[in-house]
Structure 1
Amino acid sequence: MVLKRLMRPMILGALLLFGAAGAPAQRSAAPNALGGLEHGQWQLKSGEGEVRRLCLGNPATLIQIMHGNSQCEHFVMENTHRSATVRYTCPSHGHGRTTISLDTPRVVNIETQGVANGAPFSERFEGRRIGACS
């Protein structure tokens, strides 16, 4: 009887520990820094001078910019009002780690690296809101 009472807390602790460790990763809510970004037409300029334009409706798309609309699981590593770092995995498409720093609601710096469709990438972008989406 005494042994049963002693073992119960150990078993409960083990179940909680291993149950939590085995739980599947969940898509996190958008980091705080992204909530301050203005929606609209954005221009992303890479370190090499390449320019991309995108209509930013959901700022969370900047997290996995190299993986587009792939279904990815996100893990938020840093989450402040001015910056966020997110690690993500896209089954069959690769993975990445992105840091977004918010200068103003219309200017961001994005650093991203990882593997997309079997090829490594490491990019830096300066993003600026340039107007409304057309």
Structure 2
Amino acid sequence: MLDRFEPGLWEVTPRDDASQAGQVCIDSGRKLIQVRHARETCRRFVIEDKPVSVTVQYTCPASGSGLTHVRFKNPRLALIETQGIDNGLPFNFSAEGRRIGACSR
């Protein structure tokens, strides 16, 4: 399912605080799994993979873990729900990921 998202520059906007929006350049939808641990090398385990959604648990040896559910709305829009531990602190948020253009090189 994650291969259905268009590569490019995506804006990830938390649903409860639009001022915290961030941008990420993705080459595949797999980058949407680790929004909170984007720069980490983590082990992933796919819990559920359906045509319109995927749920993945991941563990990052140095900084924490997470459980992410990504829902496919269209090739340029994803709904992301993620929770876990980041540097010893819990996190839990829902966000909208939207492709906004090409990545700058």
After TM superposition, the score normalised by the length of structure 2 is 0.91
Partner residue of 1:71 out of 5, 24, 41: 41
Q: Please give the alpha-carbon distance, in whole angstroms, between the structure 1 residues aligned to 2:38 and 2:76.
A: 21
- Structure 2 segments unaligned to the other structure (5+ residues): none
Q: How large is the Cα RMSD of the aligned pairs?
A: 1.0
Alignment correspondent of 2:69: 99
User: Aligned equivalents of 1:54 and 1:63: distance in 2?
Assistant: 12
| Equivalent-residue separation in structure 2 for 1:68 and 1:39 (angstroms) | 16
| CA offsets 1:83-130 (integer angstroms, 9 cap, x no match) | 000011111211110000000000000000000111110011101111
Q: Give per-residue Cα distances to partners, 1:13-62, cap 9 Å, x unaligned.
A: xxxxxxxxxxxxxxxxxxxx211000011111112112111111232121
- What letter matches 1:68 in structure 2? A
1 or 2 for the larger relative contact order (CA 8 Å, sep ≥6)? 2
Q: 1 or 2, which has the higher helix percentage?
A: 1
Amino acid at match of 1:100: V
| 1:1-134 mapped onto 2 (5 Å cutoff) | 33-47=1-15, 48-49=17-18, 50-134=20-104
Q: Cα distance, 1:65 vs. partner?
A: 1.2
Structure with greater proportional strand content: 2
Letter in 2 for 1:89: T
Whose radius of gyration is greater, 1 or 2? Answer: 1
Q: TM-score, normalised by structure 1?
A: 0.73
